[in-house]
Amino acid sequence: MNTSSRTIPDRLRSPLEQRLKSWETLLLLVAIGIFVANSLASPYFLNAWNLSDATFNFTEKAMIAFAMALLIISGEIDLSVASIIALASTAMGAAVQMGVGTPGLVLIGLGVGLLCGAFNGVLVTRFGLPSIVVTIGTMSLFRGISYIVLGDQAFRGYPASFSWFGQGYVWWVISFEFVLFAIIAVIYAVLLHKTNFGRAVYAIGNNATGAMFSGIRVQRVKFTLFLLTGLMSGIAAICLTARLGSTRPSIATGWELEIVTMVVLGGVSILGGSGTIVGVVIAAFVMGLVTFGLGLLNVPGIVMSIVIGALLIGVIALPRLWSMWRAR
Amino acid sequence: MKRRTFTKLTASLSLAAGLFGTTALAEDNMRIALVVKALGIGFFEAAAEGAEEAAQELGGVEIIYTGPTDTTAEGQIEVINSLIAQGVDAIAVSANDTDALVPTLKKAMQRGITVISWDSGVAEDGRQMHLNPSSNALIGNMIIKLAADHLPEGGDVAVLSATTTSTNQNIWIEEMNKVMGDYPGINVVATVYGDDLADKSYREATGLMQSHPDLDAIIAPTSVGIVAAAQAVVDAGKVGEVNVTGLGLPSEMAGAIENGASQSFAIWNPIDLGYSAAMIAHALASGAATAAPGSEISIGRVGTITLDETSSAAMADPFVYDASNIDQFKSIF
C-alpha cells in the first residue's frame, strides 16, 4: 500500500500551468457547474435559507472527512467512524437519563470518540494489524454495543442548550455547524500543509520505511491520526445528536462510505501519499450541492446514489483517460 | 416522476433561453408531499397510488411521492429539507423516528407548511395531526366479526394469540371481549399463545382442534399465528370445518385463502391509508378543516375521522381481504 511506484516527471511544468491542471481546479469547475445547473433547474435553489439548510447535508460528514483524509494519506483507513458516532451518541443519551448537563454531554461525546479512536489506534500500531480489518471489526463492535444498550428504544430528552450545537445559528443563515466546519477545515489545512506533523503524514504515506529511517516516529503519528479521527467522530456525534434531538442505534448508518467517497472525490489518493484539504472541502460542497439539487427536483435517493457514484468514477477516470490519450 | 423532472428541465432550459415567466408551470397546483420510510417498499407504493387517487378526485393537486433510500431518520430529514426549500403546501410523513424528525418538521410548520404524520407517527409537537390506520376498539370488533360472519348459526371459536405479554394482542382481545354481546351464539372456548413462533403456533392450533372437536373458527390476531393456524387446519384435513381468521398479510395468506383454510382476514389497506393522508393534508392546507382535539375531518370515500386529545385519529375498520381481492393485494405487501 505504501510502496506504490511513482513516475518521475521528465519535464517540470510551470507553477501556473500546474495549478490550472490540478485536481482542485477541476473539482472547483465541477462545483461551479453543479451550482449553475442547480440554479437553472430549480427556482428554489438560490435562496439563502435553502442553501443554509443544504449545508447540513455535508457539514458533519466533512468534519470527519478531514481527519479521514490525513489517515488515508498516511496509508491507513478507519471504517468505524459512523459506528463511533452511534456509540458516542448512545453514551450521551444514557448520560442525559442520569441528568448530566450540556457541558458534561459534550465531554462525554468527545471522550467516547477519543477512546474509540485510541482503541483502533492501539490495535493497528501496537499489534501491527491492518487498519481496514481492525476497523471493519470495530465498525460492528461499536454499533453492536449501541444496539445492546438501546435495542429498539431511543434516548431523548436532550437539554435545549445542547440542541444549539445542531440547530443553532451564529449569525443570520450561518449555522453553528457550518462555522465549526469552516474552523476545522482551516485547522486541518494548517496541520497538513504547514507543520512538520503534516510533512510526516505525507512521508509515511509515500514510504513508511523511509520515513522511519528519517527519524519519523511512524507508529506514534499513525496513533495520533486514529485519535484525531475518533475525536472528529465524537464532534460529529455531538452535532448530529443535537440536530436530531434523539439517539437510536441506527444513527448515521452508512456514513463511513460517504465519508471515504468525499475524501477520494477530494483528490486524496486511496493508496496514500497525496491529497489536499482544499480538495476535500470542495468535494464536500460538490456532494452537498448534488444531493440537495437533485432533492429539489424530487429525484429518488436511489438515482442520487447512482449520480454520486458516476461522479466519483467520472472525476477520477477523466484525467487519467485524458493523460493516456495525450501520451499516445 | 420522470415527466416532472423533464418538465423542470424544459422549464429551466426555456429560462436559460430568456423566456422568463414559464417557470410557474405547476405552481398553481397544491403540492402535497407523501414522505415514506423508504422507497421501493410495496406497502408504500400502494399508499402513493391511493394518494394519486385522492389528487385526481380533488383536482389541482400534485402529489410528490418521495423518501430516503433506506429507513433512516437522517435520510428523511434531507428529503424534508428539500421539500421545505421547494415550499410545498403540505407534508404527510410516515416517520422512521418519532423524535428525530421533530426539529425539521417544526421548521416546516414555521414556514407555513401543513405537516401530518400517518402510519408511523411523529411526536405531538412535530405535526398537526396523526392518522392511525385503525384503532384498538375497531380491531377488537373486527376479529370477532370476521369469525361471526361465517357462523350465522353461532358456534365455538378459539383465540390463538402471540405471547401472554404482547401488549397489542392483549388489548385487542380485551376489546373483543367487550363487544361479545353483539355476537350472540358465538362462544370463545379457549385462548392459547403461540409466542409469535411459527412452530409453537402450529402446535397450539393443532392442540385446539384436538381438545375442541367441534371448533368452528380460530381467531389469530397476529400475522405469524394466522399463517401457522391455517397450515395446521390444512394438515388436520379440517378445511371447511374450521375457519382461520384474524390479522395477517395478504402476501402470506394468499395460499390459505386459495385452499379455503381461511375465508377472510383483515389488515389495514395501504391504498386507503395513502388516500386518506392526502385528503387530510389537502383539507388542512386549504383551510377547509383545522387540526385540533375534537375536530372532524372528512376523508372522501373513506368517511370521517375525529381527532382525539392528542390530535390523532383512527382511519377506519381494518380492511377485509378474501377471495375477491386477494390477488390484487398479495403482490403489494
- C-beta atoms surrounding A240 within 10 Å: 26
CA distance A157 to chain B (A): 10
**In chain B, which residue's Cα lies nearest the Cα of A241?**
B100
Q: What percent of chain A has pLDDT over 90?
A: 63
A306 Cβ under 8 Å from any chain B Cβ: no
Assigned C-alpha cell, B215 = 371448533
Of the pLDDT bands very low, low, confident and very high (cuts 50, 70, 90), residue A131 is very high
Residue A220, classed as helix, strand or coil, is: helix
**In chain B, which residue's Cα lies nearest the Cα of A51?**
B85
CB B143 within 8 A of CB B266: yes
Which tens digit of pLDDT belongs to each residue from B102-137? 999 999 999 999 999 998 888 889 999 999 888 888
State residue B19's pLDDT score: 34
Question: Which residues of A are less than 8 Å from B68 in CB distance?
Answer: 301
Of the pLDDT bands very low, low, confident and very high (cuts 50, 70, 90), residue A102 is very high
**Across the interface, do A296 and B82 touch by the CB < 8 Å criterion?**
yes
| Nearest by CB: B64 against A167, A252, A298 | A298
Of the pLDDT bands very low, low, confident and very high (cuts 50, 70, 90), residue B242 is very high
A215 versus A311: which is more confidently predicted? A215
| Mutation for testing the A interface, residue in B81, B83, B96, B124 having most A CBs under 10 Å | B81
B→A contacts (Cβ < 8 Å), by residue, are 1, 4-5, 8-9, 12-13, 15-16, 23, 39-40, 64, 66-70, 72-75, 77-79, 81-82, 84-87, 97-100, 102-103
| Nearest by CB: A301 against B13, B39, B102 | B39
Question: Residue A50: what residue type?
Answer: N
Q: Is pLDDT above 50 for A69?
A: yes
**Across the interface, do A302 and B39 touch by the CB < 8 Å criterion?**
yes
Question: Which residues of B are less than 8 Å from A41 in CB distance?
Answer: 8-9, 12
Question: Which residues of B are less than 8 Å from A54 in CB distance?
Answer: 81, 85
Question: Which residues of B are less than 8 Å from A243 in CB distance?
Answer: 77, 103
**Partner residues linked to B268 by β-bridges:** none
Mean pLDDT is lowest, of A10-14, A240-244, B69-73, for A10-14
A167 Cβ under 8 Å from any chain B Cβ: yes
**Across the interface, do B5 and A297 touch by the CB < 8 Å criterion?**
yes
State residue A19's pLDDT score: 63
Q: Is pLDDT above 50 for A316?
A: yes
Question: Which residues of A are less than 8 Å from B64 in CB distance?
Answer: 298
Pairing type for strands B243-246 and B30-35 reads unpaired
Question: Per residue in B208-222, is it b (16+ CB within 10 Å) or e — as a string?
Answer: bbeebeebbbbbbbb
What integer is the mean pLDDT of B234-255? 90
Q: How far apart are CA B217 and CA B226, in angstroms?
A: 11
Question: Which residues of B are less than 8 Å from A245 in CB distance?
Answer: 99-100, 102-103
**Contact residues for A242 (Cβ-Cβ < 8 A; gap 6+):** A158, A162, A163, A164, A165, A166, A167
| Mutation for testing the B interface, residue in A50, A53, A247 having most B CBs under 10 Å | A53
**Across the interface, do B75 and A305 touch by the CB < 8 Å criterion?**
no
Question: Which residues of B are less than 8 Å from A295 in CB distance?
Answer: 78-79, 81-82, 85
Question: Which residues of B are less than 8 Å from A306 in CB distance?
Answer: none
Of the pLDDT bands very low, low, confident and very high (cuts 50, 70, 90), residue B41 is confident
Question: Which residues of A are less than 8 Å from B66 in CB distance?
Answer: 298, 300
State residue A309's pLDDT score: 86
Around A31, how many Cα atoms within 13 Å sit in the side-chain half-sphere? 19
Q: How far apart are CA A59 and CA A288, in angstroms?
A: 9
DSSP string of B78-137? Answer: HHHHHHHHHT-SEEEE--S-TTTTHHHHHHHHHTT-EEEEESS---GGG-SEEEES--HH
A52 Cβ under 8 Å from any chain B Cβ: no
CA distance B149 to chain A (A): 38
| Nearest by CB: B99 against A40, A245, A295 | A245
State residue B23's pLDDT score: 40
How far does chain A reach from its first CA to its final CA, in angstroms? 29
**In chain B, which residue's Cα lies nearest the Cα of A294?**
B82
**Across the interface, do B99 and A252 touch by the CB < 8 Å criterion?**
no
The ipTM of this complex is: 0.77
Residue B273, classed as helix, strand or coil, is: helix
